[in-house]
Structure 1
Amino acid sequence: MERRKILIATKTYPSISTKYQETVCTAGVLLDDDEKPLQWIRIYPIRFRQLDFDKRYPRWSIISAKIERNDKDYREESFRIDDSSIEIIRKIDTRKNWEARKAFVLPLQFKSIRQIKEQGKSLGIIKPQTIKKYFCKETEREWNLKQQSILYQLDLFEPSVHLEKIPYNFGYEFISQDGDKHRLTISDWEIMELYRKCRDQSRATSVENKEKEALEKVRQKLEDDFLKKKDLYFIVGNLKNHKNSFMIIGIFYPLLIENLNIQTELF
């Protein structure tokens, strides 16, 4: 393994794996020694919630760690990581409308998912030409039987690792720069956590009403706020066993320039 620097751009909500138990997929940017962006990188598998606290890297942090190509994954961006080697260097802030973050990820921007595929890649950031709408869809409320058996085995030895199944998918329908239409779900941990926190903090008296309130707050964030006020980019990645199926694994959301100008004028 070789020690390298990586900018952490996003983490997906934990999933249950028959091989790796609970796993998180991390996407980021591999950096050179001068911290210039080289390529997109996927760190998988990693049991993020079982890492030592000082190694649980936040989003938009630069870390140093020992990594190597995952030779069991055909996707060239996929790397394994030595958990014990993780060192968090610093976090990149949002000053000047995400100027520093843009300098890391936008040089690696693709025109579309089609271009990502044509270049033999499986991971990248794109800017939609038009976002048609936000959507929310109810899904299964429980893990399937195989996943439940894995969770049960984990709980016997690690009682603090309970992983909640979020019973909704959130996503966007959009048109990419080349005119292709897409309907992609969002697996970004931030969005799932937004739903869970809004539900848990609700003062409603029934579970149903707590969920309704949480869903409305997620809609407000992803539709009213993001679609009207943010300059949205999507970090997208494919599924290992379904290489043509992509999902939004992270949202990049600096302010729209017109909103930034209004904000500047106010102060």
Structure 2
Amino acid sequence: MAELIEEAKNPQIGTSLAVFKPQRIVDFVWEESSREWNKQKLDAVYANQAQQSLFDVEETKRIFKVAKKLPYEFSYRFISEDGKERKLMIEDWELGMLYWNCLAAANGNEQVACEKVKQKYFTEWCKKDIYFFLGTTKKFHNVGTNPFIIIGTFYPPKNPQLTLTFKMD
């Protein structure tokens, strides 16, 4: 992880995507965040989209649908290969859809929905051989203490080492 961070900060290398295997997952946590998208950024997105099309901003707003913002930021706390405990936020479409589905199943109870998300990401997937797909954000790429976020997870089943048996005739 330390090597990836240094590579991201080095303009000669500029690593911005990586696959990373944590040594050990410590926890899966969530923190409440803003419930609405930043209006100035959203207006800029609409304006940019309209500029690249035949439609004006109002028509673009009608056609271009923005995903509902998650009211929580979800993160993994883990131990990296250097023995340091780290925390990385997860920005993954799959996590967002899981949250919204869990919220519906929990009849709108956000605490229950977050617990269900944790059950999937921490209890269930950490029993597998978990890897993180990491990416940097433009804002923090060359300057952030740790510019990476988790943009996806990969969790194949753990395959215990096969044992050899010898048959003596």
TM-score range normalised by the length of the shorter chain: 0.7 to 0.9
Counterparts of 2:87 and 2:58, CA distance in 1: 36
CA drift at 1:201: 4.1
**TM-score, with length taken from structure 1:** 0.48
Identify the residue that residue 114 of structure 2 maps to in structure 1. 215
CA RMSD of aligned residues (A): 2.5
- Match 1:257 to one of 138, 159, 162: 159
Deviations 1:112-151 (A, max 9, x none): 2x22244431210111112111111110011122134357
Deviations 1:16-55 (A, max 9, x none): xxxxxxxxxxxxxxxxxxxxxxxxxxxxxxxxxxxxxxxx
Deviations 1:191-220 (A, max 9, x none): 111101222344x2xx4x2x2332121011
8 Å contact from structure 1 (residues 169, 185) kept in 2 = yes
Q: Residue 34 of structure 2 aligns to a residue in which SS? A: coil
- Match 1:179 to one of 83, 89, 96: 83
1:188 has 2:92 as partner: yes
CA drift at 1:241: 2.3
The amino acid across from 1:255 in the alignment is P
Identify the residue that residue 21 of structure 1 maps to in structure 2. none
1:241 has 2:143 as partner: no
Q: Residue 182 of structure 1 aligns to a residue in which SS? A: strand
Number of positions where the alignment pairs a residue of Structure 1 with one of Structure 2: 142
Q: Which runs of 5+ in 2 are unaligned?
A: 8-12, 48-56, 163-169
- Match 1:137 to one of 24, 31, 51: 31
Distance 1:150 1:118, change over 3 A: closer
The amino acid across from 2:35 in the alignment is R
Q: Which runs of 5+ in 1 are unaligned?
A: 1-111, 262-267
Identify the residue that residue 115 of structure 1 maps to in structure 2. 3
Name the one with the larger strand percent.
1
Deviations 1:149-204 (A, max 9, x none): 357766643346132111111111112112233111000111111101222344x2
8 Å contact from structure 1 (residues 155, 161) kept in 2 = no
Identify the residue that residue 149 of structure 1 maps to in structure 2. 43
Q: Residue 119 of structure 2 aligns to a residue in which SS? A: helix
Distance 1:155 1:214, change over 3 A: farther
Larger radius of gyration: 2
Identify the residue that residue 231 of structure 1 maps to in structure 2. 129
Taking only the aligned residue pairs, the percentage that are identical comes to 38
**TM-score, with length taken from structure 2:** 0.72
Map 1:55-70 → 2, pairs under 5 A:
none
